[in-house]
């Protein structure tokens, strides 16, 4: 019975389970990057990033886990001058 329900849901939505990707942040939030590191966090819309974090450069913001920019920022970061550089801990 459960398999039939899953097939019906897939047929009705036109999506398979592989179409769903985890969002980097929840609704009402935006992602920020650790300055000089590869860490990240989510900040409520309208709030400034906490100390030690910065916004991702425009057009290079990860939206979903393992998307192009999420993978890119694993080996790159933004330095204290706002320049994109290789991440020091990307060994």
What does the pLDDT read at residue 57?
Answer: 97
The phi and psi torsions of 42 (rounded to 5 degrees) equal -120, 140
DSSP class of residue 6 equals H
Check residue 7 and give its pLDDT. 42
What's the confidence (pLDDT) of residue 3?
47
Q: Which residue has the tokens 């706002």?
A: 82
Going 57 to 58 to 62 to 67, the CA torsion angle's sign is: negative
User: Per-residue confidence of the chain (91 residues) as pLDDT tens digits?
Assistant: 544 444 444 444 454 444 578 999 999 999 999 999 999 999 999 999 999 999 999 999 999 999 999 999 999 999 999 999 999 876 5
What pLDDT shows up at residue 5?
41
Written as one string, the DSSP assignment of 13-70 is: HT--GGG---BSS-TTEEEEEEBTSS-EEEEETTSPPPTTEEEPPTT----BTTSHHH
């Amino acid at each position: 019975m459960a398999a039939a329900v899953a097939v019906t849901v897939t047929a009705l939505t036109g999506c398979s389970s592989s179409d769903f990707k985890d969002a980097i942040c929840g609704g009402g939030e935006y992602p920020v990057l650790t300055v000089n590191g590869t860490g990240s966090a989510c900040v409520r819309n309208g709030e400034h990033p906490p100390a030690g974090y910065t916004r991702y450069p425009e057009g290079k913001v990860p939206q979903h886990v393992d998307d192009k920019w999420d993978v890119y920022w694993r080996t790159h970061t933004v330095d204290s001058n706002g320049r994109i550089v290789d991440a020091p801990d990307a060994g």
